[in-house]
Structure formats: C-alpha cells, structure tokens
Copies of this chain bind each other. A is one copy, B any other.
Amino acid sequence: MKVTVAGCGITNFGELWNRSLYDLAEEATYAAIKDAKIKPKQIDAVYVGNMLAGNLGGQNHLGPTITSLLNLNCPAYSIESACASGGMATNLAYEALISGRYQNVLVLGVEKMTDFETGQVTLGLMGAASEEERKAGLTFVGLYALLANVHMQKFKTTRKQLSSVAVKNHSNGAKNPIAQYQNIITLEKAMESQEIASPLNLFDCSPISDGAAAVVLSRKPDTANEVTIVASSVATDHVALGKRKSLTELLATKIAAQNAYKQAKISAKDIDVAEVHDCFTIAEIMAIEDLNFCKKGEGGRFTQSQATSLGGKIPVNTSGGLKACGHPVGATGVKQIIEITQQLRGKAQKRQLKNPKIGLTHNVGGSGATAAVHILQI
C-alpha cells in the first residue's frame, strides 16, 4: 500500500477582501474532494493547518468547522506550527494513512490575513518567534535580515543574488493563474525597491495573503497510477536565533531533508522539481543549500546561474513560491504539495516542466524552528 495525492483543490491566493476564511476553506475542500472522485462521507479524518484564525478572526476549533461543513462526525484536528502548519498537517495525515488507520483523509491549509490592521498581523506572525525576540521588537523580516547579513558576510552572497530569487519567482508566478502576483519584475526593480530591514527590501519579502489549499490523501494499492508521497519528515530546532548552533543554515531543514531522502531512498540529485519556503529571498538561498541542491554558501550563485529557473538543472518554486504565488501561512505547505502534484501529473500548464518524476516540498515555521519536508513521486 502507498499514500497518494488523490485530489487537489486550491483557491486564488491574494488580497481577497470579499472572501471569508470559511468561503476559502469551503472552495478548496470541495474542489479537492471532487478531484479525488470520492464523496464527502468517504473522508475518514480531517487535518487543518492554520496559524492565525484565532488571533485575527476569533475563530479557533477549525477541525470540526470543516467536518460540520461536510456533515461528518469523523476525527478532525487543527495543527498550528506557524508558517509550517500546512506541512505539519500533511505529515500527520500521511502518518495516519501509512499506519493503516484510514483510507481517505482531507488536509486543508487555510489563512485569512488581509482585512486586519497591519500591526495586528505583524504581531500575530511574531507568535511564531520566541518571547525574547518578540519583546525585543524584532519582526520576521528583521529576523531574516539578521540571517541574510551573516550569509552575505560569510559567503559573499550579493544583493543581486537575493534579487535574482525574486525575479525568478515573479517570472514563475506570472505563469500561475492562482498566484497573488502575476507580473514579471526586472532585476533592477527588485534591487532598487524600498528597504524594509537591511539588507532585505520590499521585493525580498513574501506578501500578506488570503487563500486555502486542500488535498485528499488516500491509501492505494502499490499499482495505483497516482502521485505518491514517498517521504514525510519533520524536525525542529531552537525557536530563538540566539540559541542556534549556526546562523547560516536551518538545522531543522537539514535534519528533515536527510530523513526524507533516507525514507525515499534517493538523494538530492534525484529531485526534478521543488517548492521551497521562500518567505524571504534569503530563505530560498539557504533552503536550496540545506536541501543539498547546491553546496553551503553557493545558493546565491546557484540561483543567479539560473540553475533553479524553469529551464534549469533543478527548477525551484515553479508556482511562484511564497514570494509571487503568495503566503497565506497555513495554506502554504499544502499549496506546495499541490504544485508538485500538478507538475508530476503534467498539469502545470504554462509552467509545466518536461516530464518530472520526483518532486520535493519544504515548509518552514517561523525563522526555522520547524521544518516539514515531503517527497512526491509518480
């Protein structure tokens, strides 16, 4: 038996001022169930990834909100792991299926972040960081700016290399009909945009977004001709940057990736396509290093060489990534699974790669305290 991605459903990502959390959840849920060609009553359990519905919308208890919608009495869990909530929900769902407990489960990632005061959202997001960092007045872009400064100093990573991540991801987002930003940007525009937290500028940052993504995962016979999850691995590290052993890598990513490669019995060179957690451009550069797509310190140059572009050696963030597709935090990890599934199914439209067979997703919580890595294969 194996665990397959039997159905995918996703809403537009963006500033969806006329859509509620419930609207978005409903659209993605029904689309995934329809795509899986099953009936709602065939769902055995529900796993919801969400970070901010309680803080911002006053709505906790999202699990039974979804079973209620589907008129089910099955188990329903809501998983909160900051920006990795979707990846962690997928991991728990995968583990339940692989243990033989269920036949079909729904994983929903959803987040409603616009229509709230910016300060409230910024503070809400800082819930992913440590208390000391929050009380010191740090913001998430501030935390990643610290990481970027260390990387630039140690490995000579350049302003241009950071911006080349944004240019690539906007180029991919322009080919993705659900992306928040479907406009291409020039390297000059990216490099010269407004500074947010030095060295990071506006185009180094993923946006505030609304959106939902859902998948039906199913236990199928080994002969099933569907996209299969061949590895699901998660790891953690210290929440506070000050307690980490190194600031040039995310240890949680490295551990999760090593375990995932081992589970799938492959190495990084076997990966044909990847969705990685580019909440900031520096995060993508560190991710492709920590995932072993290139050597530590080479991420900037690797990106600039177009190795991670659509026609490159290992295309990264074909969806547009968090940067251009958008980052409704709880939905992101599930969106990554959907993008890789569509690539492996050959259904990625204008951004379709030539015959990819193995894909990877990489979802990070906070500044790297949580990482979830999945490997998918067809």
Contacts and interface: CB of A to CB of B under 8 A. Distances in A.
Interface of A: 22, 51-55, 58-65, 67-68, 72-82, 88, 91-92, 95-96, 98-101, 123-124, 126-131, 134, 234-240, 243, 251-252, 255, 365-366, 369-370
Contact of A123 (B58, B126, B240): B58
24 contacts: A52-B54, A52-B60, A53-B127, A54-B80, A55-B55, A58-B124, A58-B127, A60-B82, A61-B82, A61-B369, A64-B81, A64-B236, A64-B252, A64-B365, A68-B240, A73-B252, A75-B234, A76-B236, A78-B79, A78-B81, A79-B80, A95-B99, A99-B99, A99-B101
Contact of A55 (B54, B74, B236, B251): B54
Contacts of A238: 64, 68
A64 B369 contact: yes
Nearest to A20: B131
Contacts of A62: 80
Contacts of A237: 64, 67-68, 73
A374 to B, nearest CB: 14
Main secondary structure of the interface of A (DSSP, over half): mixed
B68 A243 contact: yes
Contacts of A74: 235-236
B126 A58 contact: yes
A237 B237 CA distance: 36
Of residues A65, A78, A365, which shows the largest number of chain B Cβ atoms within 10 Å of its Cβ?
A: A78
Nearest to A58: B127
A96 B92 CA distance: 9
A252 B73 CA distance: 7
A369 B58 contact: no
A130 B78 CA distance: 15
A100 B239 CA distance: 28
